[in-house]
Amino acid sequence: MISFDYTPALKFISSEEIAAIEPQVATAAKLLESHTGAGPEWLGWLDLPTKYDRAEYKRIKAAAKRIRKQSEVLVVVGIGGSYLGGKAGLEFCMPTPALPIRGGRKKHFDVVFTGTNLSADYHAQVIEAIGERDFSVNVISKSGTTTEPAIAFRIFKQKLEEKYGKASAAHRIYATTDKARGALKILADREGYETFVVPDDVGGRFSVLTAVGLLPLAAAGIDVDALLRGAADARLAYKKPLAENACYQYAALRNILRNKGKEIEILANYEPRCHYIAEWWKQLYGESEGKDGKGIFPASVSFTADLHSMGQYIQDGRRIVFETVLEIERPQMELLVPKAEDDLDGLNYLAGKSLDYVNKKAAEGTRMAHIDGGVPNLTISIPEATPYYLGQLFFFFEKACAISGYLLGVNPFDQPGVEAYKKNMFRLLGK
Ligand code: PA5
């Protein structure tokens, strides 16, 4: 199992504070499990790892196979909750190489995410990068009318139809949307696209274990059975009481820290493959908790790179920050530090040591420094970067988010604030 260590934060909180929050956590858990808390109509994600549509799951895997057979590139179109889980999962299991060697390599299958911004340059670059390669499209939008993905879909649908003709293009478009309503559902039915469902009781940011995340991940060749197994094991493990429940402990600790004025949580990682996990996590916690004038501000850093940019602030700036470190215990690759004859940089004392050893020591040293600097530290340890542990991690964060939102006293499942920018944008565009 993934594990959680809050002992380094004990310097900042007392055992009385942990004891005091225990009944509140138990109440929050009861409200959640009995569907009697805020937003009960949005709790489908709680049972997803075991209670899902088996027939649709089979279709997802079959569609993934078909996509790989018919194309070299899958263009995923979606934004927010309709994109971040898939992107996070893909980068975690199959990180983009530092050099773009994948594209252009024969037989390599690429997944690219679009509709996540309104940049002409970005979308033109994707079109150029696809070039002559065969491609399919997975358009993901519960509403079917979100501006960014709707525009991107128009663009890639047009490209597909120009390349293959309308009828063949329809066999390359896979729509993940509401089961009955919305613009995309109407279009998909009319044009004959294969469709997958965003369940009514699962909000975008909790949807990674539905077709929203599963189809792009399966198409990329990621073992979605293992992913769901990990989530199912987490679902069982995270029903236990606080003392034995890493997920509840994380929710409890972050709320204790918030009550002590630690209003910013920085999710830190030492492995670039975790970068988009942090992006997904920021949406999950930001949209779930940032309301009614409340909420911890979720931020993220990728170390050691950001130690050279954000390190100063974290060490020495306003003392309103706590840090949660995502640690991967065992890397997949081993690299050793080479010996240099002249030892000009003075690093020969590390010669023969693994790079991961150095990375772990950097993490340890940083944690000690941050604690000395007044930054409480929590650590989530993932044994290995595999789909199984990823499933656990997704569920860990989702359930902790729900408990944390209840502890905070908000409805973690709505997002009334997201509409404000849209209203202005539509007015300015003359809608
Ligand atoms: O979590 C959310 O609700 C949002 O991020 C939505 O997922 C996002 O706005 C995309 O919405 P839709 O799937 O309707 O296009």
pLDDT tens string 81-96: 999 999 999 999 998 8
Shortest-distance atom of ligand 1 to CA 206: 1
Residue identifier of the C-alpha nearest atom 9 of ligand 1: 80
Q: DSSP character for 308?
A: G
- Among the listed residues 287, 289, 327, 398, the single catalytic one is 287
Instruction: Say what the pLDDT of residue 429 is.
Output: 86
Report how far residue 297's alpha carbon sits from residue 285's, in angstroms, rounded to the nearest whole number: 8
Q: Specify the higher pLDDT residue, 408 or 104.
A: 408
List ligand 1's pocket residues with C-beta within 6 A.
Answer: 79-82, 141-143, 146, 149, 203-205, 287, 415
* Cβ-proximal residues to 125 (8 Å cutoff; 6+ apart), any chain: none
Q: How confident is the model at residue 40 (pLDDT cuts 50, 70, 90)?
A: very high
- Among the listed residues 107, 308, 341, 419, the single catalytic one is 308
* Cβ-proximal residues to 248 (8 Å cutoff; 6+ apart), any chain: 25, 29, 238, 240, 241, 242, 400, 403
Summarize the confidence of residues 332-340 as an average pLDDT.
96
287 catalytically annotated = yes
Q: Determine the longest span between alpha carbons in the chain, in angstroms.
A: 71
Rounded to the nearest whole angstrom, what is the distance from the C-alpha of residue 106 to the centroid of ligand 1?
A: 34
Q: Is the pLDDT score of 101 beyond 60?
A: no
Q: Within 10 A of 264 (CB to CB), how many other CB atoms are there?
A: 15
Q: Is the pLDDT score of 102 beyond 80?
A: no
For residue 159 the two structure tokens come to: 């490209």
Instruction: Say what the pLDDT of residue 97 is.
Output: 75
Is the separation of the CB atoms in 144 and 187 below 8 Å? yes
308 catalytically annotated = yes
pLDDT tens string 250-302: 999 999 999 999 999 999 999 999 999 999 999 999 999 999 999 999 999 99
Q: Within 10 A of 161 (CB to CB), how many other CB atoms are there?
A: 17
Q: How confident is the model at residue 107 (pLDDT cuts 50, 70, 90)?
A: low
Q: DSSP character for 152?
A: H
Torsion over CA: 387, 393, 396, 398 (sign): negative
CA neighbor of 334 nearest in space, from 362, 355, 358: 355
Rounded to the nearest whole angstrom, what is the distance from the C-alpha of residue 226 to the centroid of ligand 1?
A: 26
